[in-house]
Structure formats: C-alpha cells, structure tokens
Structure 1
C-alpha cells in the first residue's frame, strides 16, 4: 500500500515543470494536493477519489480492468506521481522506501473528476499498487507501481497498447529498493 510519499523541492529542476505550477513539496498524505503529470501537462491534484463515502487512495493493478470505477480511468486518465520515496510501517516503525538507482521515480496513477462537499467539480488521483516483491514483502504485501523515465513515457502515452500498459503494472525487481528506518540511522535487514 502507499499511504504517504515525499517529494523534495530540489527535484523541481529535474521534472522540467512550468514555473506557473505551484507545488507544495514535502510529505504527502491522503487528501493532500500533490504534483501529478499526464501526457500533456503537469498540475496539482487532491490525492484520493471518493467512493461509497470512503476516500479511495490506492487501486490494485489486478482489478483495474475489471472494476467499473477504474476501467475508463486506466484507458484514458493515466497519470504519474513523482516521488523521491514513499513510506510504509511495520510494528510501529516508519520505513522510507526509494529506488537505489534513481533520485526520482514515478508512481503510476489514474485520475478523475468528482463533486466535492461544496457541490463543485474537483479532480483527484489514486496510486496504483501491485503485489510486493520479496524485499518489500518484509514490510507490506503491496507496493506502488514505480516507473522510471522510459516507462513513464509508455504509461502516459495515449497511443500505448493496453497490453504494454498491463506489463508495466508490476512490482520493481528484487534488489532495486533502498529501505531505511525513517530516522536514517538503521538499515532494514531483510535476510
């Protein structure tokens, strides 16, 4: 699962953002506004889509093509959420999880419109998760779908084949993650 993530302000230049976009950097929680990128633009959007009086923040990759709520969104409303790391917890310990070889990665997402409590149209996004790889399964059974720059382009491209999109919706390879207790002083021992 992905319940929190972090984007450093120093990442701004690497993302090639339009200076007119106002991004709040730092730790992001559900219902916070966060930076998202689509094929044509970047913007900020609220994390979560309301459904049955609940805020849905994650979507399982296995059910994207079978659940009515997600089916049209995965076909035409794909986005990525840039992050430096995400957080997960085990036994009360907060772990910071990032990709070893990447300063920034992109979590696969989908977005859509909804009517908020003030009866106004608002946009929201959810993060797509996959079954965890072996190293992540030591902490949690789910992991955000983490894309590199090339995979990001394929995922966002409206001309991409749905078969190619489905292939991207999986966990990263074992050995790709850097997992550290949030204090930064303890490395998680996986074996």
Structure 2
C-alpha cells in the first residue's frame, strides 16, 4: 500500500530523468496525500518525422482513481492504489491498464507498521527513500472522470505489488517501481498490451530503498515541512525495522484525509 509519498526533486531533475522537452515549475512536496494533485508522466502524441517534439509529457492528476462509468463519486470508494495482480481483470482498472498507463515521479513514500490489536505496541511511521537519493517512478493508471454537467477531472492510482523480503516486516505491499530503461515500454499503450508488461509489475529490488523511522507528524496532511522526514528512535518495543508479524495488516485510514470531490 502507498498512502503518502513525497516529491522533493527539482523540475529539472524530473525533466532530465523522463526526457521531457519542458516542464512547469513546481515546489518541493514532502507529504503528498490522497485527493491532492500529483505529477504524472504520460505518453504524448507521436511526433512527426524530423520533429523534436517529445513523446512524453508531464500532467497533473488528482490522486484518487475514478472509473469513467461512475455516476456519483460520493457512492464510490477512493481508489488510491490498484493491485498489480488483478488490475488487468478488475472492472475499475481494466480500461486504464490497456490505454492509460502512467509514471508517477517520487522521492520516496511513507508506510506505517501497525501491530495487531491488543499487542500493546504502538504504530510506527517510516520514510522509505531510494538509497541513491534519486527519483523513482511508480507505475500508475490514469482515468478522466466526467460529471453530468460536462466537467472533467483527471484521476490516478499507484499500482502496488507484494513487498520485497526486507520490507515485509513493515508492510506486505509496496509500490511498483519502473526502471528508466522500461519507461518507454510501460507508457506504450499502442503496441504493448497489458499482458506484455506484466513482467514490469514485480517487487522492487530488495536493496533499492532505505527505511527510516519518523514521527507521527506525517499522519497530518497539514504537516508539509522537511522535518517530517527526520529520523527518530522507533517507539518502545519496535526494532528498526520491526520484526515480521504473523498477523498482516489489512488496511488503515489516513487521519485528515480530504475528499476527492
């Protein structure tokens, strides 16, 4: 699961990694929450022969996927993640998997280790960042939702997969990470059908991320400063990282989460 993430890289770093011709300026964001705008990289229209027009562009989406067939968003759950194993067949994501695959730049993400109820242990938040300090690209899906009055909202979700072995002590799911050499194939929805990119939806390399215990200030969407990524000593009874538990966490609610519509 991925319920919060961060993008603190500069626009120039994002432009260079994704080979964009241009990108609008944006501020560093340390605590990106569901329903907020997120930056996404999509395939642009094919360039004309001899043109220097890029085949990728950056767009803004609302984090919270809304299938086009939904009539009333109030009656539909907020889909911030999609399970990679079932996205091809699930009605909510089937069309997007075939036609609207995206990349979501991130400097890392947050996860919470939540012990079983009655254990006496407290939850612990973690900042999970690439060990090399660079940007990663989460695999995502995009859908444009249209209201009855004709207004449109571009929405998106992050694909998740089984956690890598060293991360399972904290959570059993984590985002799918697409390597730079696979950007083109993932974004190519014209010639690459969903079954042909299944191999890209795998657990990240076990040594890709560094896990840092942080304070519970990240729980509040109002806390948006870099201090929420400061390392702390884990709460009493929690090693760093915590030992695997036999009881897997099945879900959590984000404090202070805003509404999508």
Taking the aligned partners of 2:32 and 2:164, their CA distance within structure 1 comes to 24
Render the CA deviation track for 1:98-126: whole Å, top value 9, x for unaligned: 22235000000000011359762111000
The TM-score, its normalising length taken from structure 2, stands at 0.66
User: What CA distance in whole angstroms lies between the structure 2 residues aligned with 1:175 and 1:118?
Assistant: 49
Matched, 1:45 2:61: yes
Consecutive unaligned residues in structure 2, runs of 5 or more: 45-56, 115-122, 215-229, 235-239, 244-261
Q: How many Å apart are 1:72 and its aligned residue?
A: 1.2
In structure 1, what is the Cα distance between the partners aligned to 2:232 and 2:13?
27
Query: How far apart, CA to CA, are the structure 2 residues paired with 1:147 and 1:161?
Result: 16
Change (3 A) 1:22 1:124: farther
Shift of 1:162: 3.4
Larger radius of gyration: 2
Aligned to 1:68: 91
Contact kept in structure 2, 1:64 and 1:70, CA below 8 Å: yes
Structure 1 residues 161 and 186, CA, compared in 2 at 3 Å: closer, same or farther?
farther
Q: Where does residue 101 of structure 2 map in the other structure?
A: 78
More strand by share: 1
Aligned equivalent of 1:57? 80
Q: Gaps spanning 5+ residues in structure 1: where?
A: none
What are the superposed Cα offsets for residues 133-152 of structure 1, whole Å, 9 maximum, x if unpaired?
11111111111001221122
Q: 1:133 aligns with which of 164, 170, 186?
A: 164
Indicate the SS of the match to 1:54: coil
8 Å Cα contact 1:109-1:127 kept in structure 2: yes
TM-score by length of 1: 0.88
Distance 1:153 1:190, change over 3 A: farther
Which residue pairs with 1:3 in the alignment?
3
Structure-1 residue corresponding to 2:28: 25
1:162 paired with 2:209, answer no
Q: For the Cα contact (< 8 Å) 2:139–2:159, is it kept in 1?
A: yes
Query: Any runs of at least 4 consecutive aligned residues in structure 1 with deviations exceeding 6 A, and if so which?
Result: none
